[in-house]
Structures are given as structure tokens and as C-alpha cells.
Chain A
Amino acid sequence: AQSVTQPDIHITVSEGASLELRCNYSYGATPYLFWYVQSPGQGLQLLLKYFSGDTLVQGIKGFEAEFKRSQSSFNLRKPSVHWSDAAEYFCAVVKGGSEKLVFGKGTKLTVNP
């Protein structure tokens, strides 16, 4: 069965520090990969996506993610975190040809001043 794992439930970083949020998926083939962000009480906003090609993808708000086929991972990174980045981040996966977008359980990010 298709699954998405975000190993870290909660991460705390200081403002200005770098950030990496982990995501692993279980699939035989390369799926379509997404990262979404959800601010408290809000809907989900797409940060970035990967389908094929360059394994390092750039997104909005200064985020990037790297697809590593050998590790079945799609980790999200940001070089310098801002207080406004505090939110919950979701990795999501769609198997090619499927209609179903499957989410990880999310990582909550707290940013200390």
C-alpha cells in the first residue's frame, strides 16, 4: 500500500537557522510529490512539487526540496527560517495514473525568536 512517512511530528528551530523536514514514501515507481503548508486555522497552500527532471525543485517562500530515488525521500529545506514560517507542513504523494493524493501526518514547525 502507498504510504507517506514524516518522521518528525514537531520541530523547533531558531529564527535564521536552517531547516530540513523529512519525507519518505513507499512506492515501486516514482510518484508525483508535493509539499503543502498549513498556517493555523487556514487551508493548505502548495509550496512545491516534483514530477520528473531536475531532482532539486524550487518553491515559494524560499523553500526547496530534493528528490532522492535511492532513499525514496523528498525532503524540504530552507536556508534561513523566518518567524512567519511557523506552521504545519505536509508531504503528499500521488502515484502516476491514480486520483488519490495521499498525505503524511504532518510536521509542526515552531520558530523561536
Chain B
Amino acid sequence: NAGVTQTPKFQVLKTGQSMTLQCAQDMNHNSMYWYRQDPGMGLRLIYYSASEGTTDKGEVPNGYNVSRLNKREFSLRLESAAPSQTSVYFCASRYRFFYGYTFGSGTRLTVV
């Protein structure tokens, strides 16, 4: 089925470890986004990519890096994980505003 695929679904890291969250969409969408969701905080934008080859910071970019590998894929990297990065991470994509945004099913990350 067409949509946004995130891997892995669950991950436990030790403080200081690094990892990359993967996101791929097969809808030929131009824009892709990474959000984090924390209880009582809603979803907050980490980084986004308006088109292949471009990335920009969102509301909470510190501690993260991103790569728009091609039109389909947008990865999020934690270079040195911290307990404050324990969260659920969502990737999203969109074609045009009026089509809305499509979200993946999320990655639940715990940093101990």
C-alpha cells in the first residue's frame, strides 16, 4: 500500500550512542518532515525538506541531523543520544497543501 514507511518501529539506545531513523514514501511527494511527539506537547517539528536536496530546521532541531537522500527518502540521525530524546518520532510527507500530510506509523525511541 502507498504511504510513509518508518524503520525501525522500536529502538532502545544507551546515552551517547548514535542511530539513524529511516523514512521512505512512495507517493512522489515533494516535501518531507520529521516530528517528535511527547506527552502533553503535541507534535513538534524537528526538520523538514521542501524538495530533494534541501533541508531546513524546525522548532526543535538541536541534537539531530537529517539527510534527504533522494525524493523518496528522508533520514533523521541522532549523533549522541540523550535521555531527553526519548520520544515517538513521526515522519510525514505531502504533495500539495490541499492534499494534506501523510504520516508514518512512528518510531518509539527510548534512551537510557
| Residues of A that sit less than 8 Å from B by CB | 9, 32, 34, 36, 42-46, 49, 51, 90, 92, 94, 96, 99-106
In the assembled complex, the CB of B46 is this many whole angstroms from the nearest CB of chain A, namely: 11
Q: For B79, what are the chain A residues with a Cβ–Cβ distance below 8 Å?
A: none
* Nearest A residue to B38, CB-CB: A105
Chain B contributes a number of interface residues (CB within 8 A of A) equal to 25
* Nearest A residue to B106, CB-CB: A43
Number of A-B contacts (CB under 8 A): 53
In the assembled complex, the CB of B50 is this many whole angstroms from the nearest CB of chain A, namely: 5
Q: Does B43 contact A103, Cβ atoms closer than 8 Å?
A: yes
Contact flag A100-B48 (CB < 8 Å), given A42-B105, A49-B98, A51-B97 = yes
B31 within 8 A of A: yes
Q: Does B40 contact A43, Cβ atoms closer than 8 Å?
A: no
* Nearest B residue to A44, CB-CB: B103
Q: For A32, what are the chain B residues with a Cβ–Cβ distance below 8 Å?
A: 97-98
* Nearest A residue to B3, CB-CB: A43
Kindly identify, within residues 30 to 78 of chain B, every residue whose CB is under 8 Å from any CB belonging to chain A: 31, 33, 35, 40-45, 48, 50, 56, 58-59
In the assembled complex, the CB of A110 is this many whole angstroms from the nearest CB of chain B, namely: 16
Q: For B44, what are the chain A residues with a Cβ–Cβ distance below 8 Å?
A: 103
Contact flag A103-B106 (CB < 8 Å), given A43-B90, A46-B101, A94-B97 = no
